[in-house]
């Protein structure tokens, strides 16, 4: 059979693949060795012992063998990044396309007490795996497929092939089905254009449906800031809400529609939002003040989160107000109490205090953690507009968020990049704070 005998480069050695041979068959392996003509003496000089060709044979019989026993565990992806990974099996073989798929193989040799497992090889028949498709090597015992590698409604076999040191080969498969997320809906944003802070926009996700056993549906609306951050404006089972939006021409907005099992669909849209003119700190402080206090007092997390997201993004779009001093490019400048620079520092600290309050009034989840860290990145994105109070608050916030992620057993790897970006801004601000800024702390501290 093809592949049973595999010659090595140069032809001097060959490997016999017993896994492809038919059990209980007798085999004869023949080797033909031929001298090259240039290596032979002339015919008049041939003497005893000179041969142009030699043949050697060996006979043997293949037996059934004893391949390794292979067991595959479909793991709960929530344990990624924790020592408990794969200690807890997934409760179903139906997976979500928007989540990692985690499987672990364990091989047990059966062909002798001194035999060990020497290798693993993963494959997904029918699915082409690129280098970016997995977080782990295909030769590792654990396979982690990135979100989106498996398409909704697809049923696939994840196969692990295991080899031991006696070259015995065993395999096992697990069949998974990818859940179909909510479908058929759209996102409407009205009006199509307006002004930051003052215009209220209506965002509605309509026409979404799913199977009855996947209900209820949840809706998480967001506005995109920067290249990829998507801080949440509103989350819950209500599919329509009203909010102000940060500047953007255009501004990308969207909604994630999820079912009871966590399968999500995403719809995006665009709206034109003009930026306010002139100094923005006083304007934002006024627009944020009373509505934010009322939202926090009423326990309206969505309204409070939306106000903070809009204010921080608007502040980041405004022209710089804190001019750097001559003491160094990275130095945080001192400011005169009451001017635009100091007002912005106060406003950023107030927003972070509000975000901390929002965090304390809701049960942590993977979605809320991701949104809050994105909002922290927005608040702390301008290091010149930060004081020591904000740096300290931000550091404590990140520490608490990491602790919540660990307690929830969520995929901490998914948040690692966001945590790193937030800490980078906080560390830069801390390194740049000058003695002049330190002296102003009593005037800048917000209680």
Q: What is the pLDDT of residues 75-120, one digit of tens each?
A: 998 888 778 889 988 989 999 999 999 999 999 999 888 899 999 9
Write phi, then psi, for 265 (nearest 5 degrees): -120, 155
Highest mean pLDDT out of 73-87, 171-185, 296-310? 171-185
Query: Are the CB atoms for 74 and 176 separated by under 8 Å?
Result: yes
Q: Look over the chain and give the mean of its residue pLDDT values, rounded to a whole number.
A: 84
Q: What digits encode the pLDDT tens for the residues 183-208?
A: 999 999 999 999 998 899 999 999 99
Count of helices and strands (H, E) across the chain: 8, 19
Residue 43 pLDDT grade (very low, low, confident, very high; cuts 50, 70, 90): low
**Distance from chain centroid for Cα 306:** 24
DSSP class of residue 209 equals B
DSSP class of residue 39 equals G
DSSP class of residue 447 equals -
If one compares 16 and 185, the residue with the highest pLDDT of the two is: 185
* pLDDT-above-70 percentage for the chain: 85
Query: Are the CB atoms for 124 and 157 separated by under 8 Å?
Result: yes
**Predicted local distance difference test score (pLDDT) of residue 420:** 87
Q: Helix, strand, coil: what percent of the chain each, to 5?
A: 30, 30, 40
**358 CB-side CA count, 13 A:** 30
**Predicted local distance difference test score (pLDDT) of residue 444:** 40
**Predicted local distance difference test score (pLDDT) of residue 445:** 39
Lowest-pLDDT range, 26-30, 268-272, 377-381?
26-30
Ordered strands of the 193-195 beta sheet: 193-195, 264-274, 248-258, 218-223, 232-236
Give mean pLDDT, residues 392-404.
87
Q: In angstroms, rounded to a whole number, what is the distance separating the alpha carbons of residues 103 and 184?
A: 31
The model's pTM is 0.73
**Predicted local distance difference test score (pLDDT) of residue 328:** 44
Structure tokens at 269: 């849209």
Ordered strands of the 169-178 beta sheet: 94-95, 169-178, 155-164, 117-123
**Predicted local distance difference test score (pLDDT) of residue 51:** 58
If one compares 46 and 422, the residue with the highest pLDDT of the two is: 422
Q: Which of 25, 71, 26, 66 minimizes the C-alpha distance to 168?
A: 66
**Predicted local distance difference test score (pLDDT) of residue 324:** 55
Residue 442 pLDDT grade (very low, low, confident, very high; cuts 50, 70, 90): very low
Q: Indicate whether 304 pLDDT > 80.
A: yes
Query: Are the CB atoms for 428 and 385 separated by under 8 Å?
Result: no
Q: In angstroms, rounded to a whole number, what is the distance separating the alpha carbons of residues 83 and 188?
A: 43
Q: In angstroms, rounded to a whole number, what is the distance separating the alpha carbons of residues 239 and 255?
A: 9
**Predicted local distance difference test score (pLDDT) of residue 447:** 32
CA dist 183 → 83, 147, 162, 214 (Å)? 36, 18, 40, 12
**Predicted local distance difference test score (pLDDT) of residue 279:** 86
Q: Alpha helix (H) ranges present in 299-339? A: 301-317
Residue 179 pLDDT grade (very low, low, confident, very high; cuts 50, 70, 90): very high
């Amino acid at each position: 059979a093809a592949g049973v005998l595999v010659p090595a480069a140069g032809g001097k050695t060959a490997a016999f693949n017993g896994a492809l041979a038919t059990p209980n068959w007798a085999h004869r392996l023949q080797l033909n060795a031929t001298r090259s003509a240039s290596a032979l003496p002339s015919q008049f000089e041939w003497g005893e012992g000179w041969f142009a060709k030699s043949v050697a044979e060996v006979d043997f019989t293949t037996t059934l063998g004893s391949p390794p026993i292979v067991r595959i565990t479909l793991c709960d992806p929530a344990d990624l990044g924790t020592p408990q990974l794969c200690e807890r099996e997934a409760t179903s073989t139906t997976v979500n396309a928007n989540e990692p798929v985690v499987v672990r193989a364990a091989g047990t040799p059966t062909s002798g007490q001194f035999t060990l497992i020497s290798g693993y090889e993963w494959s997904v028949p029918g699915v082409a795996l690129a280098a970016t498709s997995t977080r782990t090597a295909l030769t590792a015992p654990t396979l982690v497929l990135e979100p989106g590698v498996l398409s909704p409604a697809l049923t696939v076999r994840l196969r692990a092939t295991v080899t031991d040191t006696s070259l015995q080969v065993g395999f096992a498969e697990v069949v998974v089905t990818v859940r179909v997320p909510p479908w058929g809906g759209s996102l409407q944003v009205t009006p199509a254009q307006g002004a930051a802070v003052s215009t209220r926009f209506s965002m509605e996700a309509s026409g979404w449906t799913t199977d009855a056993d996947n209900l209820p549906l949840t809706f998480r609306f967001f506005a995109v800031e920067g290249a990829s951050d998507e801080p949440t404006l509103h989350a819950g089972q209500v599919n329509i809400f009203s909010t102000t939006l940060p500047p953007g021409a255009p501004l990308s907005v969207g909604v994630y529609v999820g079912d009871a099992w966590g399968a999500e669909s995403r719809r995006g849209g665009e709206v034109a939002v003009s930026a306010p003119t002139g100094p923005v700190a006083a304007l934002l402080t006024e627009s944020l003040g009373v509505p934010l206090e009322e939202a926090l007092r009423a326990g309206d997390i969505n309204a409070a989160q939306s106000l903070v997201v809009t204010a921080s993004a608007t502040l980041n779009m405004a022209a710089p107000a804190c001019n750097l001093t001559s003491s160094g490019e990275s130095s945080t400048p001192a400011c005169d109490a009451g001017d635009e620079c100091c007002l912005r520092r106060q406003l950023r600290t107030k927003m972070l205090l509000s975000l901390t309050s929002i965090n304390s009034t809701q049960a942590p989840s993977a979605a809320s953690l991701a949104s809050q860290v994105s909002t922290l990145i927005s608040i702390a994105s301008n290091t010149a507009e930060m004081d020591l109070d904000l740096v300290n608050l931000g550091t404590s916030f990140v520490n608490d968020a990491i602790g919540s992620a660990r307690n929830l057993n969520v995929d901490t790897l998914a948040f690692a990049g966001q945590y790193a970006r937030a800490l980078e801004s906080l560390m830069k601000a801390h390194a740049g704070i000058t003695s002049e800024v330190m002296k102003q702390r009593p005037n800048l501290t917000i209680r």
